Structure 1
Amino acid sequence: MPRTDARAPGLFRVYCRATAMLAPLAYRSVARKLRAHDVPEARIAERMGHATEPAPGGPLIWFHAASVGESLSVLTLIARMGDRLPQAQFLITSGTATSAQLIARRMPPRTRHQFAPLDAPGPVGRFLSHWRPRAAVFVESELWPLMLARTRDSGARLALVNARLSMKSVDGWRRFPDTARFVLGCFSLMLTQNDRARRDLLAMGADPDRVHTGGNLKSTSDPLPVDEETLAAMQTALGDRPLWIAASTHPGEEEQVVAAHARVLERHPDACLILAPRHPERSAEVTALIERAGMSNARRSAGELPDDTSQVYLADTLGELGTWYALAPIVFLGGSLREIGGHNPFEPASAGAAILTGPHVTNFAETFAPLIATGGAVEVADADDLAAAVLRWLGNPAPLATARTAARDFAIRRQEALSDIVDRLCTALELG
């Protein structure tokens, strides 16, 4: 199929020329970040489109997801499509070292991972020439104009799933309506997280016949993996102590979590908090905060288990949230006491944990409202609210059990939507 550059908007042609010139500079920046995580040089070169694995035989379906959350959200979808399409092979691309590490631990059958090519003619051209995908699925907000146009020109059919754009992004695209229509026209199907995202895509010029509300893909993911050996060791170490978790916390939130735990300890002196920062590399910073509060702690990254004196257990590792969620009945989800947008409530809900959240959950607005309505989650505003909610549940087993059941049932109901997403993708991408 011929390239569309000649009939593309002028801004797109300018973008192609600019990215061709800027690719070496962009590569130096992304390479530096990957080297900081000890990624091998050969794999870093994947960002320039140099593959490190042979292309598989059979039809290849490519999934692209930029971040950790986006990458993990599609693994269950890939596994389900693999069941539906036994001859298909799968490729998942992402941009960060952390996403690559977590994907490697949960790779579905017949799937391989590569770092995504930079959105420039050389990297994208090399990538497509090697992998030759039959179909491509982009996740959430990854609208790379050149990558989309070149992939469509290669003969592959494209879909956008879990679509969600910030208002800033929507406003930016609407300033260039011809280019927005051109980019969105690359997709045969667009499935949005909610009705607002559907309206945003339509306002940007998307074809109404191709845009549908598909729900939040993260709600359809399988429960997080649990390390049974670690779980058993933690259960033995903690016994029947009162326990709660603060997960995926950010700077400015740990202070409030630790302050709330101080109040919990006043009522339950033997209580333990499992604190799992969103970014484990902040371990030293969070440890210092805990010690300034006068609390004893043990650290997962040091291979320690909590003992009878450990008031806080710092879970400063990657990929173990499933184990922590299986351990504790109450989970506070971070990214919500500050204007970060919140994190995935389906993961703790699937584990049967009652959930606490701050008010800033724009990333999951369509999820938290019904979850709170069912009683599976409670919104808190600050450290005082958080402490009161934890104490209320720790002191009342029956309401806590009701909240845990409501959260688990909510997650189970949402998982049933995955079959519909698979059907829509297979039809729109002509995959059988």
Structure 2
Amino acid sequence: MADALPVTLGVYRRASALAAPLAGLIIGRRLKQGKEDPERVAERRGFASVERPPGLLVWIHGASVGEVLAAAELVDRLRALNLRVLLTSGTKTSADIVARRFPPDVIHQFIPYDVPGFVARFLDHWKPGLGLFIESDLWPNLLLSASERRIPLVLINGRMSPRSFPRWQKARVTIGTLLSCFDLCLTQSDIDHERFAALGSPNVITSGNLKLDIKALPADPERFDRLKAATGRRTVFVAASTHPGEEEIIIEAHRHLAAEIPSLLTVIVPRHPQRGPAIAQMVANARLQTALRSRGDLPSADTDIYVADTMGELGLFYRLAPVVFMGGSLVPHGGQNPIEPVKLDAAILHGPHIFNFADLYAELDRTEGALLARDPDEFVTLLRHLLGNPIARNRLAMSAQSVVARLGGAVDKTMAALEPYLLQMRIEQGGVDA
């Protein structure tokens, strides 16, 4: 394959090989930033931290938390077929999610940096019978090396945003070469299907969005009971996965509505928990009372805004609040996934910047399964309406659940598409020490 590579990929492979000595500097900087696990940095160089289990192994790769969670139901199906699963990702938060939410026999490793030697070491150790890449985290050396070893590769839950597609079109030959490494591309929607096909994917099937099939987020019963007792009969509103620029809008909305709803408790769950203290300072600057969950605080009767700056607890807060605002949508981030709160009966409010989940939000809005706030003033108006109108909230939540149920089924379609590859793995099982 190397002789047929476009110039861009040939240069990339040579440059990345020369960059191997710089890995230590990159890892060192990321360790200082808290972005690497100091006990597992060797995995970034392709050194496995555990032995490969005997038998058939399916490798699933997702960039971070969202992609890893999207694979949860698929992982369960594969395990039910007595297949071992290797799950790779690139962030500490996703590794924490795997440790907490996945069965102990699911192996997690950090994906190696995309250096030829590191990738070769990784593939030599794990020898996967099938590789599944979630959405569009495409690393050239990883894909090319796996393809050269004739490891069947399938892109699952493929998504191509309106922002990414024009950029990828400018490098169509390069991207087309990478996409040709996949035997099959399974996309979330017909629009994604068209975009991947236009970029050179040779075999594309629309299978739906795996995130629609996820189970409701879990919640620790004892923690929930403590929160419920602390909030009592207060009116709780949750702003989930917020980004910079949104907290100010939410704080101001609370100031407006607290005069009308004295029992209002606003919970801000930042997308990046490390921003918690800064958000608490914003609340204090607005002369409102705050409490930080990362410090072990529970909301008191005097708390105006509770900053839930922890990981993996959204299931608690979605169960607590009848109305949820999905962050990343009042600023041009692209919006966060609304399916999790929908599955816990919340009414959804969102801003105009939802290009990461454009098709889903469009269907929710069309069927009155969510409400769109185009600006901060409309945000206050719609939030007031939902908090004061339980009938409207219930109607919104029920409509959203109908949309999710109707659009679901991606896991079944994905498993059906993977069946020939899984069968071939079993036929070739003698090639791996079983």
TM range (shorter): over 0.9
CA contact (8 A) 2:78 2:85 kept: no
Could you say if the C-alpha distance between residues 31 and 69 of structure 1 is closer, same or farther in structure 2, counting changes exceeding 3 Å?
A: farther
Q: Distance in 2 between matches of 1:67 and 1:28?
A: 22
Q: Which moved more, 1:306-315 or 1:251-260?
A: 306-315
Output one character per residue of 1:87-120: Cα deviation in whole Å (capped at 9) or x when no partner. x111111111121112211123531111101112
1:416 corresponds in structure 2 to 409
1:152 corresponds in structure 2 to 147
Counterpart code for 1:22: A
1:300 corresponds in structure 2 to 293
- Identity in percent: 40
Match of 1:268 among 261, 273, 285: 261
Instruction: After TM superposition, give the deviation of residue 155 of structure 1 in Å.
Output: 2.7
Q: Distance in 1 between matches of 2:132 and 2:372?
A: 34
Q: How many residues align?
A: 425
* Cα RMSD, aligned residues only: 1.9
Does the alignment pair 1:68 with 2:82? no
Instruction: After TM superposition, give the deviation of residue 176 of structure 1 in Å.
Output: 4.2
Q: Distance in 1 between matches of 2:397 and 2:4?
A: 56
2:302 corresponds in structure 1 to 309
Could you say if the C-alpha distance between residues 199 and 29 of structure 1 is closer, same or farther in structure 2, counting changes exceeding 3 Å?
A: same
Question: What secondary structure sits across from 1:146 in the alignment?
Answer: helix
Q: Which moved more, 1:163-172 or 1:102-111?
A: 163-172
Instruction: After TM superposition, give the deviation of residue 190 of structure 1 in Å.
Output: 0.5
CA contact (8 A) 2:35 2:91 kept: no
Q: Distance in 1 between matches of 2:37 and 2:284?
A: 36
Could you say if the C-alpha distance between residues 30 and 406 of structure 1 is closer, same or farther in structure 2, counting changes exceeding 3 Å?
A: farther
1:5 corresponds in structure 2 to 2
Question: What secondary structure sits across from 1:251 in the alignment?
Answer: coil
Match of 1:139 among 134, 138, 145: 134
1:48 corresponds in structure 2 to 45
Output one character per residue of 1:137-166: Cα deviation in whole Å (capped at 9) or x when no partner. 111111212211111222311011122234
Q: Distance in 1 between matches of 2:377 and 2:163?
A: 33
2:237 corresponds in structure 1 to 244
Output one character per residue of 1:375-416: Cα deviation in whole Å (capped at 9) or x when no partner. 221000222212211211222221212112222333333443
Could you say if the C-alpha distance between residues 120 and 169 of structure 1 is closer, same or farther in structure 2, counting changes exceeding 3 Å?
A: farther
Question: What secondary structure sits across from 2:40 in the alignment?
Answer: helix
Q: Distance in 2 between matches of 1:364 and 1:127?
A: 33
1:390 corresponds in structure 2 to 383
Q: Distance in 2 between matches of 1:108 and 1:412?
A: 26
CA contact (8 A) 1:75 1:108 kept: no
Question: What secondary structure sits across from 1:267 in the alignment?
Answer: coil
Instruction: After TM superposition, give the deviation of residue 308 of structure 1 in Å.
Output: 1.1
1:345 corresponds in structure 2 to 338
Match of 1:357 among 337, 350, 361: 350
Instruction: After TM superposition, give the deviation of residue 306 of structure 1 in Å.
Output: 1.1
Q: Distance in 2 between matches of 1:16 and 1:259?
A: 51
Could you say if the C-alpha distance between residues 180 and 401 of structure 1 is closer, same or farther in structure 2, counting changes exceeding 3 Å?
A: closer
Per the normalisation by structure 2, the TM-score is 0.93
Could you say if the C-alpha distance between residues 17 and 61 of structure 1 is closer, same or farther in structure 2, counting changes exceeding 3 Å?
A: same
Q: Which moved more, 1:160-169 or 1:335-344?
A: 160-169
CA contact (8 A) 2:187 2:209 kept: yes
CA contact (8 A) 1:350 1:412 kept: no
2:283 corresponds in structure 1 to 290
Q: Which moved more, 1:109-118 or 1:161-170?
A: 161-170
Per the normalisation by structure 1, the TM-score is 0.93
Does the alignment pair 1:123 with 2:118? yes
Q: Distance in 2 between matches of 1:403 and 1:176?
A: 42
Q: Distance in 1 between matches of 2:96 and 2:51?
A: 20
Does the alignment pair 1:192 with 2:204? no
Q: Distance in 2 between matches of 1:24 and 1:201?
A: 35
